[in-house]
Amino acid sequence: MQVVVGMSGGVDSAVAALLLKRQGYQVTGVFMKNWEETNENGICTAEQDWRDVQSVCDCIGIPYYSVNFTKEYEQRVFSLFLDEYKKGRTPNPDVLCNREIKFKAFFDYAFLLGADKIATGHFVNTDEEGHLLRGVDKNKDQSYFLYMVKAEKLKQTLFPVGDLTKREVRKIAEENKLPVSHKKDSTGICFIGERNFKNFLQGFLPAQKGEMVSTDGETLGTHDGLMYYTLGQRKGLGIGGHGDGRPWFVVEKDLKNNRLIVAQGDDHEQLYSASALLEDMTWVKNAPAKDGEPIKLTAKFRYRQSDQGVTLITQGTKAKVLFDAPQRAITPGQSAVFYHGDICLGGGIIQSKE
């Protein structure tokens, strides 16, 4: 069986390819280049990642290719990423990267190469019915980022490291002398990498300074542009000398008046909400309940958050989610992802908190 592995230049996809080769599959590695520019230090991380993929594939003894998806990434992911910031929201590009690039552009390319299945280094699992299951390593489980991928595609995908912990993955890489065994995990914007985020956004969107005000309407300072802030943010506000000495937090963005609303104390009531409205609902298989019918589930509103008890009521691609306990810093633009036990059912984009 021919398996095409999406290889990032990191240790997870390297070990995924190694394990598949050991299991007797005909394995081909494919590196996706999705971003052309260098970072602020003049380094093109994609070039180093491509060299790492070549070294790993030579070490394992498998053929490899590089494919350029920069146009697809710009049109399907990055343009939407910028649009969300223009609206004052905080997007999560990783979920779009998975749906539009890894499980669309790369998926289609792999099968043109003659693949019977594709594989990735994600810490998730699936079953024969196409359910998306949490990875064994609860701290690394990536099902949150894959909730937009449909069961039909998951059935054609292998996740070789889903039953391993990160420590076990590193150990396998070290024992087999893979050149990326000690390479640090990638962070930052999907496919773009670690950046000075403020400087990066300034290159694409005009910033407009405005007032930073308390919930009582007192002007405390100036913000550098609403897009640079997210709900619940504490660092970088520059107003520590005001108030009673407790830290300040972002609780709202007033787009109409270009004002950043802040409140003092991490227990301030405006940091918390009892429910949220969602849009762009998508399910891995089928919706867990009929429209208008409440259902008890668990949910995550950010990666690595512990499961939160909720009641979900859907209405087509819209939904309302009621929290068992008040939730902190529910952020428009982020994803709410729903679970039944270890099964990731799907999710939606947070439209507003209530």
Per-residue pLDDT of the chain (354 residues; tens, 9 = 90+): 999 999 999 999 999 999 999 999 999 999 998 876 555 444 456 788 999 999 999 999 999 999 999 999 999 998 998 999 888 899 998 999 999 999 999 999 999 999 999 999 999 999 999 999 999 999 999 999 999 999 999 999 999 999 999 999 999 999 999 999 999 887 655 555 555 667 777 778 888 999 999 999 999 999 999 999 999 999 999 998 888 889 999 999 999 999 999 999 999 999 999 999 999 999 999 999 999 999 999 999 999 999 999 999 999 999 999 999 999 999 999 999 999 999 999 999 999 998
Among the listed residues 304, 302, 305, 306, the one whose alpha carbon sits nearest the alpha carbon of residue 347: 302
Q: Of 44, 59, 190, 344, which one is the catalytic site residue?
A: 190
Q: Which amino acid is at 170?
A: R
Residue 211's pLDDT is 97
**β-sheet bridge partners, residue 118:** 4, 157
Residue 44's pLDDT is 52
Residue 37's pLDDT is 59
Residue 27's pLDDT is 98
Spatial distance between the Cα atoms of 90 and 246, rounded to a whole number of angstroms: 25
Residue 189's pLDDT is 59
**pTM for the full model?**
0.92
Residue 354's pLDDT is 87
The full set of domain ranges for the chain reads 2-197, 207-267, 272-353
Among the listed residues 132, 151, 131, the one whose alpha carbon sits nearest the alpha carbon of residue 143: 132
**β-sheet bridge partners, residue 262:** 214, 250
Residue 40's pLDDT is 47
Spatial distance between the Cα atoms of 326 and 328, rounded to a whole number of angstroms: 7
344 is an active site residue: no
Superfamily of domain 272-353: Translation factors (2.40.30.10)
CATH 2.30.30.280 correct for 207-267: yes
Return the CA Rg of the chain: 22
Give me the CATH code for the 2-197 domain, please.
3.40.50.620
190 is an active site residue: yes
Q: Of 44, 57, 59, 97, which one is the catalytic site residue?
A: 97
Among the listed residues 350, 303, 308, 310, the one whose alpha carbon sits nearest the alpha carbon of residue 124: 303
Residue 202 half-sphere exposure toward CB, CA atoms < 13 A: 10
**β-sheet bridge partners, residue 250:** 262
Measured between alpha carbons, how far is residue 31 from residues 22, 47, 143 in Å? Answer: 20, 11, 22
Residue 195's pLDDT is 55
